C-alpha cells in the first residue's frame, strides 16, 4: 500500500467520521436512546473502516453488506413512529436487491477468473459485458442513483 492510497483511505474515513457529531447532538435528550445508538454507530464505524481498508473482494463485500444491519436497526427503533417500519424494510429490500446483482457479478467474475491479468484476454467479451452490467446495476441500486432509488 503506497503513501498516496493510505492518505486517500484516511481522508475517506475522516469524511465519514465527520458526520458523527450531528448524529450525537440529535440524540442528547434521551440517555437510553443515546447508549443504543452509540452501539449501532460503533458497529457502523467498525464495518466501514474494514470495508475501506480491505484488500480482499469478499471481505469488502461482507463489510459493505454488514453496514445495512445497524442502519436497519437505527431506522426501525429510532425513526418517526408512523413510517419507521416501512422505511426500515424498504432500505433492507433495496439493499438486498442490489446485493443480489453484486453477488452475481462477483460470482461470475471469480468463476471466469476475470481479476487475473493473464486470463482476461481469453474470456468471452459477452461474459465481461454481463459482469460489468451486473456490477453497474448492483452499485446503482446500492449508491442509490436516480431511477433505482425509491
Peptide bond into 144 cis (omega under 30): yes
Residue 133 grid cell: 452490467
52-66 pLDDT per residue, tens:
788 887 888 888 889
Has this prediction a pTM greater than 0.95?
Answer: no
Burial class (CB in 10 A: 0-12, 13-18, 19+), 123: middle
8-24 pLDDT per residue, tens:
667 777 776 777 777 66
C-alpha 124/C-alpha 121 separation (Å) is: 8
49-107 pLDDT per residue, tens:
888 788 887 888 888 889 889 988 888 887 677 788 888 888 888 888 888 988 899 88
Cα dihedral across residues 24, 29, 31, 37: positive or negative: negative
Amino acid at each position: 500500500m503506497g503513501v498516496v492510497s493510505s492518505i486517500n483511505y484516511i481522508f475517506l474515513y475522516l469524511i465519514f467520521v465527520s458526520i458523527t457529531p450531528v448524529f450525537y447532538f440529535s440524540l442528547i435528550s434521551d440517555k437510553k436512546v443515546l447508549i443504543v445508538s452509540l452501539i449501532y454507530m460503533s458497529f457502523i464505524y467498525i464495518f466501514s473502516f474494514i470495508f475501506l481498508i480491505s484488500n480482499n473482494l469478499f471481505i469488502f463485500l461482507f463489510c459493505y453488506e454488514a453496514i445495512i444491519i445497524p442502519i436497519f436497526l437505527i431506522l426501525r427503533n429510532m425513526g418517526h413512529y408512523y413510517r419507521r417500519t416501512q422505511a426500515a424494510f424498504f432500505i433492507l429490500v433495496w439493499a438486498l436487491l442490489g446485493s443480489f446483482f453484486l453477488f452475481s457479478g462477483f460470482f461470475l467474475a471469480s468463476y471466469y477468473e476475470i481479476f487475473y491479468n493473464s486470463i482476461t484476454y481469453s474470456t468471452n467479451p459477452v461474459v465481461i459485458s454481463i459482469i460489468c452490467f451486473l456490477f453497474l446495476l448492483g452499485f446503482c441500486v446500492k449508491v442509490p442513483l436516480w431511477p433505482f432509488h425509491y
